[in-house]
Amino acid sequence: MIETSVYEKTVPQWKIDAVEGLASKIAESEMVGLVNVEGVGAKQLAGIRERLRGSAVIKMARNTIMKRAIESAKKKGIKQLSEYVAGPVAFMFSNQDPYVLTKFLRDNKAAAPAKGGQIAPKDILIPAMNTGVAPGPFISELAGLKIPSRVRGGVIHITEDTIAVKAGDVISNAMAQMLGRLGIEPMELQLRLIAAFADGTVITADSLEIDLEGLFQEVLLGHQYAVNLSVNTGIPTEETIAMILAKANVEARSLALEVSFFEPDLLEDFLAKANSEFLALAAAISEKDPEAIPSDVLSQVQTAAAAASVAPTTEASERHQVKPLSVVIFQPNHIVTLPIHAWQSPFSPVDADFAAGYNAKIEEHCILGSTE
């Protein structure tokens, strides 16, 4: 009879501790992301971690340990994140929105040394400098790369700023080595969120790479269009009722002037209209018989005509352009101010007088506060 032995595989304590530590970070973080760290050196990663301080934490571990941590997490829906644990990836833990973090990473690339065969992302400039290198083969290497240099004070100096590699060109091995010796790091490395878990959903990289500023402007424009549609069609809402009433008031005043329906409040408007019509009639008569118009009246007509001819577009500009309304949007850490011309509508034009009333009503009802 052959006896068999069964040996249980013992999991090292450090692995258990690593899984538990990552699972704890998953539990306490609102956003759990995976970032691609391929090609990112320790120096560049340290710089990115420093810039992320207070916003996010990067934790690196073996892929098997990362998967175990995700599988042991209690959050509903997070297990799908383990599908993206492949290749050189690391955890990113944060309480910020993953879209905000994606933009932050995109805007905060890390400088990195060049390698032979890479494509220059931009013109690589070697500035005039003291290399600190004693005369020797180094000066011939600079000359071979067409970098002007000479010996001064017992050391080699690069004598003028030089574009070593133009944007889009391949960096040679010799040039990459030279840039490294001179301490120039022309390449840019960016951590990329390849997947993120937030609000019970796993979001992939293609969904995270969106233009947040452009999206924000589209939302503001949509709000503006909705306001104009409400006002122009007379469909009141809590936000637009004051504007609709202001528009109705302007239209009522215009109608009263048009049909000569006198109201005491419109006395100045009627007098202005009568004066305008009087000058227009006087101008028409003076064209046929200047002697028929008193000199003082003729002087007023000529003054009005001269003003119109000097600046023919001024009145139209003032008629159709009103001081734009500044809409102030309060964010947690900053204020966004966007000028909105309320009368610019994709549906129908709005009278400039109404625009003035619109802005006046808004300024009357807006209460500006402080973000502090």
Angle at the Cα of 348 from the Cα atoms of 343 and 350, rounded to 5 degrees: 35
* pLDDT score, position 81: 93
> Which spans in the chain are helix H?
13-28, 42-52, 63-72, 98-107, 137-144, 173-181, 205-208, 212-233, 241-259, 267-288, 295-310, 314-320, 352-365
| Local confidence band at 41 (pLDDT 50, 70, 90 cut-offs) | confident
Cβ pair 45, 37 in contact under 8 A: yes
Q: How far apart are CA 164 and CA 179, in angstroms?
A: 9
261-297 pLDDT per residue, tens: 888 888 888 888 888 877 888 888 878 787 777 877 7
| Local confidence band at 326 (pLDDT 50, 70, 90 cut-offs) | very low
Burial 333-368 (b: 16+ CB within 10 A, else e): eeeeebebbbbebeeeebbbbbbbbbbebbeeeeee
Q: Domains in the chain and their CATH numbers? A: 13-109+190-210 (3.30.70.1730), 124-187 (3.90.105.20), 214-365 (no CATH)
Lowest-confidence range among 36-45, 62-71, 145-154? 36-45
Tell me how crowded residue 325 is: count the other CB atoms within 10 A of its CB.
19
Q: Tell me: pLDDT of 349 over 70.
A: no
193-223 pLDDT per residue, tens: 999 999 899 999 888 877 767 878 888 889 8
**pTM metric for this prediction:** 0.52
Mean pLDDT of 34-45: 84
